[in-house]
Copies of this chain bind each other. A is one copy, B any other.
Amino acid sequence: MLGKQSLQFVNKPYLISSGSIVGSKEAEGPLGQLFDKVCYGDKFGADTWEEAESSMQKEALEIALKKGGLQKQDMQLVFAGDLLGQSIASSFGLAGYHLPHIGIYGACSTCGLMLAMGSMAITGAFAERVACVTSSHFASAEKEFRFPLSYGNQRPKSATWTVTGSGAFILSAQPGKQVRALISGATIGKIVDYGIKDSMNMGACMAPAAADTIKQHLEDFGRAPREYDKIITGDLGTVGQKLLFNLLSESQIDITKQHMDCGIEVYDGEKQDTNAGGSGCGCSAVVLSAYILKKIEEGIWKRVLFVPTGALLSKTSFNEGQTIPGIAHAVVLEHYHHYEK
């Protein structure tokens, strides 16, 4: 443990490959050209939204393996999770790989948690290679958390749009045929509850957790924001971003120059009617795979703090009048200079 909540990896895991798959709305967004695969039907040939989400996970991992020149039997562990009750997108999506399966749950912060846990497995010499997979789907998430799509409820300006997409990542103790990034550390988030109860304003629910994790991360590693080329949150959106800046400024921390939010990047909010931005486990995962890792691999960004953010609600807790606590897990991604193309 470094400081209060952080892990520093002496043997840095190599992030050697990744895959992304998205739906039609994401393909029409500003990053549309960068994703590995687009499925325009949004049902991915399945009968239900849940099966569609499972298919995405299956395909994202297939893509990551293929791009890395790897077979499924090269993986020793899979870390996976999603937003659906009992993580069914992951269990049905990945069962066919017949790999030791570690289910994790961090709501939309899952991408950060799975990379932290996967790194722990690699750097602790428990495994040579692990796969990390997560996803979300607009339609399955609306069904799980809010209203039936056919009800056509109005969405306030603070609402986010759940990304239909899945990202898969391969971590390895050794460099592969390429290295997309190194993972040099992680900060495990605490559950932070500011008492907010509005499930149409997830940015506000999660911003306090993001602020808490970023602040603790900088303290644990003894770093200033300027030591990062980018500090990238998962899905705070425009409303959450403002709150994050305000909360951090109370501690005299200014990340306005470095900050980027995957939810803000993934859609063109004005043209695509996505209100405050994108959200979901898939949001940070597909932006990481397609965009952030590209910048790191090319050396344009040397060191990035990647902080996916999650809101720990269920429809049951929401309907019972509970608050919506947040959590954010951070990983440090670094450029690897000397890799073989």
Listed in ascending order, the chain A residues whose CB lies under 8 Å from chain B are 1, 4-5, 7, 47-48, 50-51, 76-77, 81, 83-88, 91-92, 94-95, 98-107, 113, 117, 120-121, 123-128, 143-144, 188-191, 193, 312-317, 320, 322, 325, 327
Contact = CB atoms under 8 A, between A and B. Distances in A.
Contacts of A322: 88, 92
B101 A102 contact: no
Given A77-B188, A103-B105, A84 B126 contact: no
Given A85-B315, A105-B104, A193-B95, A124 B127 contact: no
Nearest to A313: B86
A11 B121 CA distance: 15
Contacts of A313: 86, 88
B190 A101 contact: yes
A1 to B, nearest CB: 5
5 contacts: A1-B128, A7-B126, A88-B314, A120-B121, A124-B126
Nearest to A103: B105
Contacts of A47: 320
A103 B100 contact: no
A50 B320 contact: yes
Interface centre among A91, A102, A113, A144 (most CB of B within 10 A): A91
A77 B106 CA distance: 14
Contacts of A83: 86
Contact of A191 (B1, B91, B126): B91
